Structure 1
Amino acid sequence: MTTNDDELTTQHERLPSLGMAILPIVLTLGVLGLQIFYYQDFSPHIPLLIGIALTGLLGAHLGMKWLDVRAGIFHVIHVSMPSLAILIIVGLLIGVWIASGTVPTLIYYGLTILSPKIFLPAAMLVCALVSISLGTSWGTVGTVGLALMGIGAGFEVPMVWTAGAVVSGAFFGDKMSPLSDTTNLAPAVTGITVFEHIRNMMPTAIPSMLIALVIYSIAGWNMVGDGDASFETITVLTSTLQENFVISPITLLPVVVVLGLALAKKPPLPSLFLGGVIGGIIAMAMQGAGLHDVFVYAQDGYTIASGNDDIDTLLNRGGIQSMMRTISLMLLALGFGGALESTGVLERILTAVISPMKRFGSLQATAIGTAFATNVVAGDPYISIALPGRMYAPVYRGLGYSTKNLARAVEEGGTMMSPLIPWNAGGAFVITALGLGIMDGHLENLMYIPLSFVCWLSPVIGMFYGFTGLFSPRATDEEKAGWAENDESVKDVELELETA
């Protein structure tokens, strides 16, 4: 992301040396490792805040004023505000949709209709379809994904497997949806159209989905039995849901409305908010909630004491306040990324990485790896797409390859890998929305990361194509003619994305 000239009081005149650029990142990761692995405290907030301070000191050493660094921090936060807004709305939706019976009804029908043995592949496909329709992986994870976690618990499927299937489907759908912000950002900064980008992602997206489908099918078939214990658990859960909620197709109206608005290509934020309003009305009309109760559920989350620990653990969640820890983590991660960019740290490191690039295979692997590394360090999928997307484009052009390859690479290392990094915006949201409890010390639930097969298979397949030359298009004459025009319009595109 570029920083507008009028936002800065001065610009630093020189980039840091490579060693100096690496220093604040290494120190921050060291403090982060100390916090997580030595103190067993998964709270990356303070290490990230220290990282911002260290980067600010580096900026001062380079002759920058604090206002310059601050402007870079606020710029990146500003660009990511739509994602933060979705996070707030999804928190509201979770609380209200539980109170309205929407989530309990989804769980009830899922337990009575789905077969335990096909649950995992079905969960992945459902999340993929919903995410393609909504254009948001976060909205899918926080609503349908939450219901699937409950269904999986009823089928006695380990929660990390259910989370892996949910994340795989939701982020595949996000990647392939023309409504997704990241799917529009990647082609915008690399100079191609969104539909060219989606078509070029199919060679990695479809095989990764098929492989994951096979794995989830085999795993689900073998891990879930049809014995009396499983049947008894399902019976107890469905009975408890019926005792505490009115289970009816009418309670699914909020989901139908949101999906309908998505298919009509309406903006996601007002569509999701309308789904919350309808959920609140149903909670009052069908579940006996008062208006103030709905406000409380939207703000602080839903609470229930059903007498069934599994139901209580699953449904005692949601509300805007439940997202505040995640939002504060995102703000600090975004601020760290903005500080690194404004001081030239990321540019200096990327310049050093780009210099020796001579072959397409190593270039493609490096672009994917850089997007992933930026996700790790900056904690923001937008920076991980926009920065490598801009900086690597001239190298692809110099080798005569289409920047479609670059757009696919930054999506694979950016969008697809973000939910697998716990302190990244995507990872922090997944952990919070699905109730994995990692931030409360349940580090064993980090196993959802290797079980999110689609997310990490896509970049692996992408690197394989890079080294073999498969599905790696060369630049056409028409694309070469449009490169200069794209260079002139990148800033305008970024400004449009900021205000979208």
Structure 2
Amino acid sequence: MTDTASIKPRLTFLPPFIAVVTLILAITVLNLSPVYPMVLAFFFTIIFALIDGYDYRFIYRSALEGIKSVWTIIVMFTLLGALIALWLAGGTIATMIYYGLQLVEPKFFLVEVFLLSVLLSLVIGTSLGTISTLGVVLMGIGRGLNLPPEMIAGAVVAGAFFGDRISPVSTSLYLTAEVTGTKVEDNLKLMLKTTYLPFVLTIFLYFVFGMLSPTKEAGITSTYLKLLQSNFYLSPVLLLLPLLFLILALVRVSIKINLFINVVLSFILGIVYQKVPIQKLLLEAFTGFEAPKGLKALAGGGVLRYLSLVSIILVASAMAGILINTGVFTTLLIRPLAHIKSYFSLTFGIMILAVLLLMVTCTQALAIMIPGMTLRDEFKRKANANELSRILADSAVVLAPLIPWNMAAILSGAALQVNPKAYILYAFYLWLTPLTNLLVSLRKQGEVYGEKGLGNYR
């Protein structure tokens, strides 16, 4: 068996850069799926690790560790695909749209979407829970109002990750505190400094875009409501399904159990209320719901539609497992920060590295954990570990859903049935928060951390 402790990864440093470059080119220039460049980078990772001297059994175990770390997400994807299809086929979403269209003010809808998502995410502390419940409802209502789906999705995702960053019950908040060795309450006080400005600016931007966006006239909306009535049996009872999902999320029931319960109940109510045959409903849960004429916006869901996304997650997590165990990420973090002394340069450097980790590992958690665990001792000794926590919250947490192939973006896009590439420009809060962090750090530009700078490892 190879003694991996004595091996220095020379060529194994290249796959992260190959992955980032090919993913960006594939998505932005060639308009390809992220699967192909990710598979290419994964094979390069294996080949270069073997050339560097790592044993094939070590590489296999490392890849397996990476896959095991995301197995829960794979199960969630499967259940989420089935649930969305069943909510569509069973009339749950049609019912929510029907009542919602009669209550909202179209011009202020984007502001309402953002604020409602913020409120729910603060209460339940989970972005996915917010997006997959309230977000799905708001998307349906927005489509009924003829608002651009990418704008609505941007507002939902921005509001959902507001809570992911700063909610007192957010797992991301506690993970950031744990890996940096800090207290949650101290981090919250510091994070408020970069919360107010982007929050206010985001509301203003959604107000402006809402006023400028065309919406359906009253007559058209009335026709749409009649279409819903003629194609679905609409009943307030169907609203109990998302309400139950929300209640279970509030009482901290596991997201997997929550999804499974709702899938079963949605299947039963779909048979009872919409009179859909069991075989047809099972097929739609797997392949997706085909909407009736005039209601094409209600098509989607299904386990099958998410298989390509699952493959991205599996390949990315396997590659990340190899890169972590070979020590590539740790060294990549340390070397660039070795000679940084000013606070602004330090903040900017860590944020860039967090973004690179989001791109290569495709997970929010690893982009928090790797720099947090690597740099916390140096921050405690030469700076303030609470500041490290804030920097990670304002980069690794909020920027994850803005990278189209990151799991946060994939999950958000899948739940809302919008390509992440389309909504990222409209998730204003997620762009403004890291920019605000950089502005705040300018006030400490002259501060020096240690004689040789933070992160000076030999």
Q: Distance in 2 between matches of 1:273 and 1:177?
A: 25
CA separation of 1:247 and 1:204: change in aligned 2, threshold 3 A: farther
Q: Distance in 1 between matches of 2:255 and 2:136?
A: 19
Which stretch of the first structure deviates more once superposed, 107-116 or 232-241? 232-241
1:189 Cα offset (Å): 1.0
1:78 Cα offset (Å): 1.8
CA separation of 1:355 and 1:268: change in aligned 2, threshold 3 A: same
Q: 2:423 aligns with which of 435, 448, 451?
A: 448
Q: Distance in 2 between matches of 1:251 and 1:423?
A: 34
CA separation of 1:35 and 1:364: change in aligned 2, threshold 3 A: closer
Equivalent residue number for residue 15 of structure 1: 8
CA separation of 1:187 and 1:81: change in aligned 2, threshold 3 A: farther
Letter in 2 for 1:420: L
Which stretch of the first structure deviates more once superposed, 354-363 or 114-123? 354-363
Equivalent residue number for residue 430 of structure 1: 412
Letter in 2 for 1:358: K
Cα root mean square deviation, aligned: 2.5
Equivalent residue number for residue 233 of structure 2: 246
User: Deviations along 1:425-455, whole A, 9 cap, x unmatched?
Assistant: 12223333333357xxxxxxx3421211111
What secondary structure sits across from 2:397 in the alignment? Answer: coil
Which stretch of the first structure deviates more once superposed, 295-304 or 331-340? 295-304
The answer to whether structure 1 residue 135 and structure 2 residue 128 are counterparts is no
Q: Distance in 2 between matches of 1:469 and 1:259?
A: 42
CA separation of 1:196 and 1:277: change in aligned 2, threshold 3 A: farther
Which runs of structure 2 are paired with 1:328-347 in the superposition (5 Å)?
328-347=311-330
- Structure 1: 5+ residue runs without aligned partners? 1-7, 439-445, 475-500
8 Å CA contact 1:149, 1:163 repeated in 2: yes
Q: Distance in 1 between matches of 2:122 and 2:91?
A: 25
Q: 1:233 aligns with which of 200, 217, 220?
A: 220
Which stretch of the first structure deviates more once superposed, 127-136 or 54-63? 127-136
1:123 Cα offset (Å): 0.8
8 Å CA contact 2:12, 2:49 repeated in 1: no
Letter in 2 for 1:24: P
1:71 Cα offset (Å): 2.1
1:94 Cα offset (Å): 0.7
Query: What's the TM-score once normalised by structure 2's chain length?
Result: 0.90
CA separation of 1:80 and 1:465: change in aligned 2, threshold 3 A: farther
Which runs of structure 2 are paired with 1:57-68 in the superposition (5 Å)?
57-68=47-58
Which stretch of the first structure deviates more once superposed, 235-244 or 199-208? 199-208
CA separation of 1:283 and 1:159: change in aligned 2, threshold 3 A: same
Q: 1:191 aligns with which of 175, 181, 206?
A: 181
The answer to whether structure 1 residue 462 and structure 2 residue 437 are counterparts is yes
CA separation of 1:88 and 1:21: change in aligned 2, threshold 3 A: same
Equivalent residue number for residue 207 of structure 1: 197
Query: What's the TM-score once normalised by structure 1's chain length?
Result: 0.82
User: Deviations along 1:324-378, whole A, 9 cap, x unmatched?
Assistant: 1111111112222222222222122111122112233322222222111111122
What secondary structure sits across from 1:457 in the alignment? Answer: helix
1:253 Cα offset (Å): 0.5
User: Deviations along 1:393-420, whole A, 9 cap, x unmatched?
Assistant: 123123231x222222222222211111
- Structure 2: 5+ residue runs without aligned partners? 450-458
User: Deviations along 1:294-351, whole A, 9 cap, x unmatched?
Assistant: 433333322232x20xx22x22211222221111111112222222222222122111
Equivalent residue number for residue 25 of structure 1: 16
Q: 2:395 aligns with which of 410, 413, 436?
A: 413
1:164 Cα offset (Å): 1.1
CA separation of 1:199 and 1:260: change in aligned 2, threshold 3 A: farther
Equivalent residue number for residue 257 of structure 1: 244
1:247 Cα offset (Å): 2.0
8 Å CA contact 2:158, 2:430 repeated in 1: yes
Number of residue equivalences? 447
Equivalent residue number for residue 255 of structure 2: 268
Identity %: 28
CA separation of 1:297 and 1:75: change in aligned 2, threshold 3 A: same
Equivalent residue number for residue 323 of structure 1: 306
Q: Distance in 2 between matches of 1:93 and 1:462?
A: 38
Letter in 2 for 1:301: G
User: Deviations along 1:17-56, whole A, 9 cap, x unmatched?
Assistant: 5xx4553233334433553455x24212121112122122
Which runs of structure 2 are paired with 1:77-476 in the superposition (5 Å)?
77-224=67-214, 230-305=217-292, 307-308=293-294, 311-312=295-296, 314-401=297-384, 403-437=385-419, 446-469=421-444
Q: Distance in 1 between matches of 2:42 and 2:187?
A: 34
8 Å CA contact 2:12, 2:52 repeated in 1: no
CA separation of 1:134 and 1:258: change in aligned 2, threshold 3 A: farther
CA separation of 1:97 and 1:9: change in aligned 2, threshold 3 A: farther
Which stretch of the first structure deviates more once superposed, 461-470 or 348-357? 461-470
